[in-house]
A and B are shown apart, each in its own frame.
Chain A
Amino acid sequence: MLGREKTKDVARNRLSSVLREDRTAVSARDLALMQLDVLAALSAYLEMERDRAMVTVTKERLTGQTMLEFSVPVRSVKRRR
């Protein structure tokens, strides 16, 4: 059924996969808090459409790496002297 592949290698690969998922899981609550923190940090530099800000977690297709993406429409840059 499992051919010549050692079952330990299958176990190790499955373990790596579930741990990668578990360790990078971000709760909806934490995403919302992160969004507020990022907006607060950026507001010193940018005028933004805060209600259209979005934080998303995605997986990179090839590497499986977890990516955190933040997007927000920018109205203007606050000019500094």
Chain B
Amino acid sequence: MGEAIVITSGKGGVGKTTATLNIGAALALKGAHVMLVDTDIGLRNLDVVMGLEDKIVYDLVDVVEGRCRLRQALVEDPRFFGRLHLLPAAQTRDKNVVTAEQMQGLIAELTQSVDFVLIDCPAGIEQGFQNAVAGAGSAVVVTMPEVSAVRDADRVIGLLRSYDLPAPRLIINRIRAGMVRRGDMMSTKDMLDVLGCELLGIIPDDETVIKAGNLGEPVARGNTQVSVAYRNIAARILGEEVPFQRLTGMKDGLIKRLMLKFG
């Protein structure tokens, strides 16, 4: 039986969906069978980030309401040789059409056939959050080095304590090494000190993420610092001991300005 992990954050826009895709892709690259479940009903995005938006016929709500079988709603990512699938959310329905019990049943069914089910949780802490967490066996909280994002992560970590789950693990996204060095961005340690979570990974802020998103490509397949960071997270989820990367940031100055201008 597989493991169901919910990827959550509280605040929107911190990179949950990108993280869900790339952790899933990195696990699939390591040979695991992975199911990505978009639970953001009404605001689905995982299909677009994956570049599979034109492959969707049925969705999660169709499955729950019995209009199709589960297998009919799954979309295979052809780049991963049958190891990465998506169960898309409905785009035109309200998130309250699915109950926590229905989601629990669905996730339980999915874990029978894959190694990992990664549940992309919607922003907020209402019904959508409760549904996404209901079927999970563990949680990963994504945050970024901004006061509002860390505050919301703290709130979500507090809420997760009321579920029967192990302590959530933390991903810190969009770290800029140069800004941390200059004292203009909170460091990993600053955030871990206040949140008191186990660190699962650090993702540097990198424009390759935006480019990959434009192309509908998982950045985890590439050779950038971000790619390595996601593959390291996958390795840690698989129980490997992987040291955290020492992030290098491009120093500000003439060279950076020239590269931004001509690169």
Contacts and interface: CB of A to CB of B under 8 A. Distances in A.
Interface of A: 6-9, 11-12, 14-16, 18-19, 22-23
B184 A6 contact: yes
18 contacts: A6-B183, A7-B185, A8-B183, A8-B184, A8-B185, A8-B186, A11-B186, A12-B190, A14-B147, A15-B147, A15-B151, A15-B194, A16-B194, A19-B150, A19-B154, A22-B151, A22-B154, A23-B158
A-B pairs, top 9 by smallest CB distance, nearest first, are: A6-B183, A7-B184, A15-B147, A8-B183, A18-B151, A11-B147, A14-B147, A8-B186, A11-B186
Chain A contact residues: helix, strand, loop or mixed: helix
Contacts of B147: 11, 14-15, 18
A12 B154 contact: no
Contacts of B183: 6-9
Contacts, number: 39
B97 interface: no
Contacts of B187: 8
A81 to B, nearest CB: 44
Given A8-B190, A12-B190, A19 B151 contact: yes
Interface string B175-203: 00000101111110010001000000000
Interface residues of B, number: 17
Contacts of A23: 154, 158
Nearest to B146: A11
A11 B194 CA distance: 12
B155 interface: yes
Interface string B148-186: 001100110010000000000000000000001011111
A54 B167 CA distance: 36
A6 B180 CA distance: 10
Interface centre among A14, A15, A18, A19 (most CB of B within 10 A): A15
Contacts of B146: 11
B175 to A, nearest CB: 12
